[in-house]
Chain A
Amino acid sequence: MEEKAPKTISRRGFINYLVSAGGVALWGAIIYPMVRYLIPPEVPEATASSVVAGNLDELPPNSGKIFRFGDKAGILIRTPTGEFKAFSATCTHLSCTVQYRSDASHIWCACHNGHYDLNGKNISGPPPRPLEEYSVFVKGNEIVVSKKLV
């Protein structure tokens, strides 16, 4: 009798243990992703159509910087008069990345010496078309660039 009882109990106990352990593990495997999901990611709301290109204090007048817009490059410039403007940084000639030249106070492409004015218009060299302009607005200390609304 004594020998039989432990066997049945332990078999039942084993099954109960299996189901409980499995159940707990499954619940854990459900709760864990849920909790990770609920914690917001680092970039809480970056969308492909707008991006923070820089901060107010990092760009003095007559300077520019390259920023990332999705997978393309954009150029944020601060004109000599202090105004912020942003354009696509992809040169319309052969797609090199342009840069800002403070000596000429306009945009320049190093690859084949193309020049663009502060409106993005191609003014000299091989580029056939102006740079696409983006809209810029300042939110607090951040400069937000987004694709221009048609």
Chain B
Amino acid sequence: MKTAIKLQKIYQWLDERVDLKKFQDLAAHKTVPQHKHTIWYYLGGMTLFLFVVQVVTGILLLLYYRPSAEQAFESVQFIMTEVTFGWLVRSIHSWSANLMIFTLFLHMFSVFFMKAYRKPRELTWVSGVFLFFLALGFGFSGYLLPWNQLAYSATKVGTEIAGAVPLVGDFILKFLRGGTEVSGATLTRFYGFHVAVLPMIATAVLLLHLFLVQKQGMSRPLELKSANPAPADIPFFPNFFLRDVLGWTLALGVLVALASIFPWELGEKADPLAPAPAGIKPEWYFLFMFQTLKFLPAKILFFEGEILGILFFTVLFGILIFVPFLDKKANLGISSRPLLVVGWCIVAFIILMTLWGVLL
């Protein structure tokens, strides 16, 4: 009881100065629709939680990490072997990155299939797609930082593909690599992207995304709008929030278990003169694109296969941004069959190509 009174006093003190009423109202009235698809509502919060884990472990790591070609590998090795719990922080950071991108994919596709992007939530979708691109950027830039053989080769291949884009490819390649080759300059540059540029942009876009979600509330799936009787919404505080926290707690447990039982490997220090390891492939979240490019023939009609592949994905990602503006029917409350089919095809394609890349 005493703590409750103390907290109230603090709340009052702040309210007199900052007017917390708005937040109190939001907290009291925010609800989450209840239906058979409610479970997907957890994914946004889960992705956010994992992002927070990344920021915290990332900050801890950068206190010991050194972003130069001569010292990066050794500094990560130092973290893994000499720093107390360094192995834990590093392995959690690597595992959480993968888990976050996985939940991000699930979140994005669940929003897509439930058409939560329709009016008035178009901007939420667009900002979300940008967050998706930023997450891929985080993954690509962070992967190089240990400066091991695998990361070096993967970055070489990845930037090479970026350089194959027609017209601007050359510029993109030099911009990414900080030169014509992958070198210490690339490492420092990627480090700058990873710990400063991308976090800055991601924070801004994330705040926008979260603000919009709070302002507009949760969207309801189309088919359930007409259900009779409409099921009651559950209050966000404390009911849904507690469920969120439960999920986050379990996620933390999974991360710690993964980090302890399957510690992330460090491998060999990058040697620019050594040939690329056989069967080099990127992390799983890039695999479907990589596998598609590998699968395309060298020449299709008179175009280079690789360029067509890159263009294909560029167009696909472009369309992704504009989905709410392309699906006019959704605004009218009609679920567009063709779009659903296209969506499922894309999901199947991604899963198949990823599996193919992993198994072969």
Using Cβ atoms and an 8 Å threshold, which residues of chain B touch A40?
Answer: 83
Nearest CB of chain B from residue A107's CB, rounded to whole Å: 28
- Given the known interface contacts A37-B60, A37-B89, A38-B63, the answer about A47 and B71 at a Cβ–Cβ threshold of 8 Å is yes
CB-based contact A37/B74 at 8 Å: no
Partner of A33, one of B70, B74, B77, B85: B85
Q: Does A1 contact B (CB under 8 A)?
A: no
Q: For the complex, is A141 an interface residue (Cβ under 8 Å from B)?
A: no
Q: Say yes or no for A81: interface residue by CB 8 A criterion.
A: no
Band of interface residues on A: 10 to 19
B60 partner residues in chain A, CB cutoff 8 A: 34, 37-38
Q: Are A47 and B75 neighbours in the complex by a CB distance under 8 Å?
A: yes
Per-residue CB proximity of B238-278 to A under 8 Å, as 1/0? Answer: 00000000000100100000000000000000000000000
Q: Give Cα A40 to B75, complex, Å.
A: 13
B249 near A26 with CB under 8 A, answer yes
The listed residue with most A CB atoms (<10 A of its CB), out of B85, B86, B89, B249, is B85
**Are A47 and B74 in contact, with the CB atoms below 8 A?**
yes
Say yes or no: B82 contacts A49, CB within 8 Å: no
> B63-93 CB contact bits vs A (8 Å, 1 = yes)?
1000000110011011000111110110000
Whether a CB of chain B sits under 8 angstroms from the CB of A9 is no
Q: Give chain A nearest CB distance to B62 CB in angstroms.
A: 12
Give the distance to chain B from A28, nearest Cβ to Cβ, in Å: 14
Q: Out of A26, A37, A45, A46, which one reaches B85, CB within 8 Å?
A: A37
- When distances are taken between beta carbons in the complex, the residues of chain B under 8 Å from A33 are 84-85, 88-89
B86 touches A37 (CB 8 A): yes
Instruction: Tell me the residues in window 22-51 of chain A with beta carbons closer than 8 Å to chain B beta carbons.
Output: 26, 33-34, 36-41, 43, 45-49
In the complex, the answer to whether B83 meets A48 with C-beta atoms within 8 Å is no
Known: A26-B249, A37-B60, A38-B63. A43 touches B89 (CB 8 A): no
Inter-subunit contact A49/B63 (CB<8 Å) = no
Chain B residues within an 8 Å CB radius of A41: 82-84
Which listed residue (B77, B82, B84) contacts A36, Cβ 8 A? B84
**A98–B89 CA distance with the chains assembled, in angstroms:** 41
| A47 contact set on B, CB distance < 8 A | 71, 74-75, 77-78
A-B pairs with beta carbons under 8 Å apart, 10 shown: A33-B84, A33-B85, A34-B60, A37-B85, A37-B86, A41-B82, A41-B83, A43-B82, A47-B77, A47-B78
Q: Nearest 9 pairs between A and B by C-beta?
A: A47-B74, A33-B85, A36-B84, A41-B82, A37-B85, A48-B74, A41-B83, A36-B85, A37-B84
Given A38-B60, A38-B63, 5 additional A-B pairs, CB 8 A: A33-B88, A33-B89, A36-B85, A41-B83, A48-B74
